[in-house]
Homo-oligomer: A and B are copies of this chain.
């Protein structure tokens, strides 16, 4: 099929150059476009529809746990940003500053929010007075700005869309519970909706969020074995509350400082979805998030009855996100486009199928074909969408599990880092010096200390040989 070739040839194969494959896919599947604003992207309809579906799903999960949405200002006065020492050190170097407004210089510079801890703290300081005001479990959906030097679609850009949750609690236990709970919400979203298995764990101090007491993360493995931090949840203890002077009268009638958390997930997750599931023909979208789940393509559509039949077939699938492609382009072009855009199921209907009362169903993920009676198509599609989800998740889990290696000494560690894409399980003494050395030598960073896998595989640090404290998953990361 010439058309198929033409549409697909612009994609570099992932074996040849994974980074270029990624860039080709996001561009050819029309998810994004570059803009005249350096480092900022345009999210096109096919890309934004993915974010809308993710947003709807995650927002529902949030609300089930009692989250309320709010909206805080885009700008942060410099003096407010400066109140928490670690936080400002972490973010000040990469913010954008507004210095003029309404044709006049501002008295105080305003930074465009890189994250909104400072604004939420300022708000809570004025709105939390008694234990009766607690907990507050707020979230906002917004865009944030970080002045990155190098940018990549969805993975790193100067502006990106995300949600940021910010909570205040009466006790440290409650804050810890909320931190873990939200991490689990992210992991559930990844598995149940995006078909992405993740590893949950705690970040080392070096990789912790600026100002947090503990950062929990979900780490996903891309097709090339690289890690992508896909969502984080932070326990702030009472550090921010002390810095911003948040206090409440407790049940004992005395003044107390509350405990806080924050948690965020961004459009980066779209990048993860592409790099976990995509193939050399383009996107492979998880069915539960695909803006189009089924595309119906008539074959020889000018023959009598074909278009009507295709329309009736699409109508019978109206409970799914279905699209009839009755444009005047060739079937071959339409097949290639469906593959590039990653729609999970394609249904073909031609004159011969019509005669037999059946249609041809093709899965995007495995390309398996099925001949299905038209009268049974609704149930078949419902089941197949679920099967595709389960299979995609299992394939991704297999890929993850098969690419986790153990290393008990540095030579082994280096050998894996140099030659085997994936995660490396290795013991660590807890010293940042070792982390720094590993990063410098091998371009490998600590991804997390996994919750579910802390059985020591040796008693020595893989780097310095001193007594090991933690089992860490290491890897190259996006």
Chain A residues packing against B (C-beta within 8 Å): 33, 35-37, 40-45, 48-49, 51-52, 68-77, 80, 92-103, 109-110, 112, 119, 122-123, 126-127, 138, 142-143, 145, 147-149, 158-159, 161
Contacts and interface: CB of A to CB of B under 8 A. Distances in A.
Contacts of A94: 102
Nearest to A43: B71
Nearest to A132: B327
Nearest to A40: B73
A325 to B, nearest CB: 15
Given A45-B68, A96-B100, A74 B35 contact: no
A159 B74 contact: yes
Given A73-B159, A112-B74, A112-B112, A96 B98 contact: yes
A123 B159 CA distance: 17
B40 A149 contact: no
Contact of A44 (B37, B41, B43, B70): B70
Given A33-B126, A123-B42, A99 B102 contact: no
A264 to B, nearest CB: 17
A229 to B, nearest CB: 21
A35 B123 contact: yes
A45 B72 contact: no
Nearest to A72: B42
A161 B95 CA distance: 22
A102 B71 contact: no
A313 to B, nearest CB: 23
A112 B98 contact: yes
A102 B149 contact: yes
B123 A37 contact: no
A243 to B, nearest CB: 15
A36 B74 CA distance: 12
A52 B35 contact: no
B74 A40 contact: yes
Given A96-B101, A98-B112, A99-B99, A48 B33 contact: no
Contact of A98 (B71, B97, B103): B97
Contacts of A142: 143
A245 to B, nearest CB: 13
Contact of A45 (B33, B48, B70, B122): B70
30 contacts: A33-B123, A35-B73, A35-B123, A36-B77, A37-B73, A40-B73, A42-B123, A45-B68, A48-B69, A48-B70, A48-B71, A71-B161, A74-B112, A74-B143, A74-B159, A75-B96, A94-B102, A95-B102, A96-B100, A96-B101, A97-B99, A97-B100, A98-B98, A98-B99, A98-B112, A99-B99, A99-B100, A100-B109, A101-B147, A112-B112
Interface centre among A52, A92, A100, A126, by most chain B C-beta atoms within 10 angstroms, is A100
Which residue, A43, A95, A102, A143, has most C-beta atoms of chain B within 10 A?
Answer: A102
A156 B263 CA distance: 31
